């Protein structure tokens, strides 16, 4: 009997909370960027966790129920919650602690403590979804981090996680040790037919939403980047992941690493620094997206002593500007993703600013961070646009970032799943 009463109370409480959660919230900014274009004097109505209506303010106000909550957002732009395409929540800037030392000397509990804060900073900067491309030695700890966010234990963006990522034996790091000792690596080593299938499946079984591979890395004869997996190995990983409904993405910066990754069937190329017109053409043909991580290269060059705006641009930066422009001209679809962790979490907008600095219009850059990333990551039925029926992941900023991209940092409100975060 006691049990029944408790159950009844529970049901009533749940119903009541649903009723209040279902009340309408009408957001009235100067304009709505719907993920593709600006709509002046438009508004958005949220009901529960979904977008209920997107229309001109005049139309919305004709039929708005009296008890709807109206949120006036003068001088503001409303956008879909931004989608970070390349983050590492388990890393923090390399000028604070080197990557090697983070992987080898920081306890995983410490790295998780940092990841919790990084997730919160990411969300509060307006990034309501993030693709985390590898824990870099923190094993499967992104699985627990994602669950803690989904369960509401901590706040953070909805996550698409890669878990450990796959590397060919010997190719990755940390590596500056005696060959006599075995050093833990920043990703999982796997090679050949059986091993690759097994480790790909194991990562999926443990919670990977996608498989990330390193198609090349700095293990060349003179320390330069060189290809890792063979084309057949990449095809095998892609097929194994695909049969379980997971996409494969590749770190690649050399021509041959990129070529194998593209022909092997990966969906996004991360970095792509040394792409050539032929490679860009191939990517455009195969509909492979480029996640250029401009901000990471910029940050690393500065950590190495380059004084931006004072010194001449290093070769690496000059080359990146050229290859990125070539990719744009070839019609390669551009993902938004900065390789956050190399630089500070919460500073994700740095990549947007650099995309504009390197030749994209602010509107094109914003499309990458919303609708294009949603399409690329297969989440466009949930997020990435301001559209009826999608989840109410919404960012409101002061100003107009389609004109002045830095306005994206003037965060006024963030909603995730219809809930006001900030
Ligand atoms: Zn990365």
Task: Select from 173, 206, 200, 321 the least CA-distant residue to 264.
Answer: 200
CA of 252 to the centre of ligand 1 (A): 11
CA of 10 to the centre of ligand 1 (A): 45
CA of 340 to the centre of ligand 1 (A): 7
CA of 413 to the centre of ligand 1 (A): 28
Q: Kindly list the distances between the CA atom of residue 120 and the CA atoms of 117, 145, 378, in Å, as whole numbers in the listed order.
A: 5, 11, 24
CA of 382 to the centre of ligand 1 (A): 25
Q: Kindly list the distances between the CA atom of residue 240 and the CA atoms of 165, 198, 248, 251, 365, in Å, as whole numbers in the listed order.
A: 14, 9, 10, 18, 33
CA of 388 to the centre of ligand 1 (A): 33
Describe the crossing of helices 255-264 and 277-286 by its angle, rounded to 10 degrees: 10
Check whether 119 has a pLDDT greater than 50.
Answer: yes
Check whether 366 has a pLDDT greater than 90.
Answer: yes
Task: State mean pLDDT over 348-366.
Answer: 98
In percent, the amount of the chain with pLDDT more than 70 equals 95
- pTM above 0.75? yes
Q: Kindly indicate the confidence band of residue 1, based on its pLDDT and cuts at 50, 70 and 90.
A: very low
CA of 168 to the centre of ligand 1 (A): 16
- Give 56-104 pLDDT, tens digit per residue: 999 999 999 999 999 999 999 999 999 999 999 999 999 999 999 999 9
Q: Kindly indicate the confidence band of residue 22, based on its pLDDT and cuts at 50, 70 and 90.
A: low
Q: Kindly indicate the confidence band of residue 14, based on its pLDDT and cuts at 50, 70 and 90.
A: very low
Q: Domains of the chain (ranges plus CATH)?
A: 2-80+385-420 (2.30.40.10), 87-376 (3.20.20.140)
Percent of residues in the chain assigned helix, strand, coil, to nearest 5: 40, 25, 40
**pLDDT at position 176, please?**
84
- Give 212-266 pLDDT, tens digit per residue: 999 999 999 999 999 999 999 999 999 999 999 999 999 999 999 999 999 999 9
Task: Select from 27, 22, 26 the least CA-distant residue to 48.
Answer: 22
Residues with CB under 5 A from ligand 1 (ion): 339
CA of 314 to the centre of ligand 1 (A): 21
């Amino acid at each position: 009997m006691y049990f029944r009463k408790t159950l009844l109370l529970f049901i009533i409480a749940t119903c009541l909370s649903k009723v209040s959660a279902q009340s309408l919230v009408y957001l009235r900014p100067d304009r709505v960027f719907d993920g593709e274009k600006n709509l002046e004097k438009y508004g958005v109505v949220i009901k529960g966790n979904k977008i209920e209506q997107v229309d001109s303010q005049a139309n919305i106000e004709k039929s708005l129920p009296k008890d709807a909550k109206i949120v006036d957002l003068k001088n503001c732009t409303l956008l879909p919650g931004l989608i970070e395409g390349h983050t590492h929540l388990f890393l923090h800037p390399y000028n604070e602690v080197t990557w090697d030392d983070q992987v080898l000397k920081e306890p995983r509990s410490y790295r998780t403590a940092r990841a919790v804060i990084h997730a919160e900073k990411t969300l509060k900067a307006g990034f309501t979804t993030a693709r985390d491309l590898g824990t870099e030695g923190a094993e499967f700890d992104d699985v627990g981090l994602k669950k803690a966010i989904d369960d509401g234990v901590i706040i953070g963006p909805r996550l698409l996680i890669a878990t450990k990522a796959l590397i060919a034996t010997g190719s990755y790091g940390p590596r500056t040790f005696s060959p006599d000792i075995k050093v833990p690596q920043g990703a999982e080593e796997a090679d050949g037919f059986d091993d690759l299938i097994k480790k790909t499946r194991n990562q999926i079984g443990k919670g990977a939403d996608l498989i990330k591979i390193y198609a090349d890395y700095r293990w060349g004869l003179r320390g330069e980047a060189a290809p890792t997996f063979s084309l057949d190995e990449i095809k095998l990983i892609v097929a194994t992941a695909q049969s379980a409904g997971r996409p494969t993405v590749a770190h690649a910066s050399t021509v041959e690493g990129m070529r194998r990754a593209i022909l092997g069937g990966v969906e996004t190329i991360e970095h792509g620094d040394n792409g050539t017109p032929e490679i860009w053409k191939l990517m455009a043909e195969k509909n492979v997206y480029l996640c250029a991580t401009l901000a990471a290269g910029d940050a690393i060059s500065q950590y190495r002593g380059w004084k931006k705006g004072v010194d001449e641009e290093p070769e690496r930066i000059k080359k990146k500007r050229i290859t990125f422009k070539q990719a744009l001209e070839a019609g390669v679809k551009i993902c938004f993703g900065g390789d956050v962790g190399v630089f500070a979490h919460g500073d994700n907008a740095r990549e947007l600013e650099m995309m504009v600095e390197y030749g994209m219009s602010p509107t094109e850059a914003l499309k990458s961070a919303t609708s294009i990333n949603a399409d690329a990551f297969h989440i466009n039925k949930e997020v990435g646009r301001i559209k009826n029926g999608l989840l109410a992941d919404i960012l409101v900023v002061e100003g107009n970032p389609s004109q002045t991209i830095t306005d994206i940092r003037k965060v006024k409100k963030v909603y995730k799943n219809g809930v006001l975060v900030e």
